[in-house]
Structure 1
């Protein structure tokens, strides 16, 4: 009756994962329920709520490049044109590039994303109820990933149980049906999460997602050729580098492993 132990393990895996998803959904729903009114997102705030610290760094780099104060070469190098940052985010980027005034984009993006300015931005959004409090594995997105993993684990355990010897008085169809119950639990939780909590955001609370939706609607021009600066940067803040229409800028961020000496000047 070893298959019974596998069944108990399947129930434990499914139960724990579904419980943690439900708790994450409750915590997320409780964050920022009164935070929507009276708050207009800045572009940096929108970037953080959409894509976290890395998106803030990307937005700052693109914004400086659009103003010709930073050159981003398709070879993956950033060159400072104006060394005077206009805000703390820009100063973080310039500081990450270093005194030489030129550096590969990938480490600059990583350093700028980890800067104190971004941490302060995250704290302000959390206090305002627009960002999910920092905590590994506590978001709905993380909970959904765990439940998906649990569903696969239940399938694997059920398959293993069906492959091992089973007493003749226990039909294999019945064993499969027993494993179908924890599988149904995980699939039901995923379906409910899809209905109630989608899109799953690692960074934004429901109130933050509401403001992001409003920002997206108000900047419908996107980052296309006819977009003004605000619409262009808002699209980058919400959608990331893929929203940038210029091929050389997209290539600059995609070029993560530039060879030494392959510097470009734009």
Structure 2
């Protein structure tokens, strides 16, 4: 009867993971009211807090969260020669006057000596009041999910896939377990049928999710996703296009190997000067 214990574990994993996916998908689904639906069909919806198109910081937050905002400030200051990001992973202040509160936070995080490793500067800027206020505005406007809740979809899908693999493994173990109950002819068919039911449940849930569940970013709501997609098509000069690309794609949009090394911390930790 050991296979019955395996079956209970398989059913438990399948039921819990599928229920979690359904709950997360329902929580992140757009509101079903008619006004929101009509606005979405018209290509409209909640707008940024100032009523215009997404700013660079708003774009960065919706695409990558607080750390993307901090990275965008670093890259912007570097491209405009107000900050030097060295491939060794250090940031050096060139112009101590920040143009906005996020840039001023970056300068304060670097410290009075004017030089600091990039990693703690990024962390400090991402946790700054200016970035939290930006997040609160986007959440209040219906464009962002609180706390990056969109990542829950990916975690729930991974849990269902894991449950499906666990069902297969437990079914194989049940078939191979000595002393399991079989039909009079020695067939393992009844055991496989019992394990086939939770397998069908998990695979069916994954199939429905593939068709129905929209891929969410970790931070943007469905309305935010629409504005984010529209923002990627905007143009505004070579430098601004580069910043928009970075806001949307992060380090993957950086062509300069030295800047990429600075942001990823793969260029070593040697200090530029004492």
**Most deviating of 160-169 and 97-106:** 160-169
**Most deviating of 153-162 and 69-78:** 153-162
What pairs up with 1:1-266 in 2 under 5 angstroms?
1-30=1-30, 33=36, 36-39=45-48, 40-134=53-147, 139-165=152-178, 166-169=180-183, 171-219=187-235, 228-255=238-265, 258-259=268-269, 262-264=270-272
- TM-score, structure 1 as length reference: 0.87
- CA apart distance, 1:257: 7.8
Give distance in 1, aligned partners of 2:124 and 2:227: 28
Give the aligned length: 257
Q: Which of the pair has more CA radius of gyration?
A: 2
Change over 3 Å in CA distance of 1:243–1:6 after alignment to 2: same
| Runs of at least 5 residues in structure 1 that lack an aligned partner in the other structure | 222-226
Change over 3 Å in CA distance of 1:163–1:100 after alignment to 2: farther
Could you list the per-position Cα deviations for residues 21-50 of structure 1 after superposition, in whole angstroms to 9, with x for gaps in the alignment?
A: 111111111369567254421111111111
Alignment RMSD (CA, Å):
2.4
Give distance in 2, aligned partners of 1:174 and 1:218: 60
Residue aligned with 2:16, SS: helix
- CA apart distance, 1:135: 7.0
Give distance in 2, aligned partners of 1:191 and 1:217: 31
Residue aligned with 2:146, SS: coil
Give distance in 2, aligned partners of 1:204 and 1:136: 9
**Most deviating of 176-185 and 72-81:** 176-185
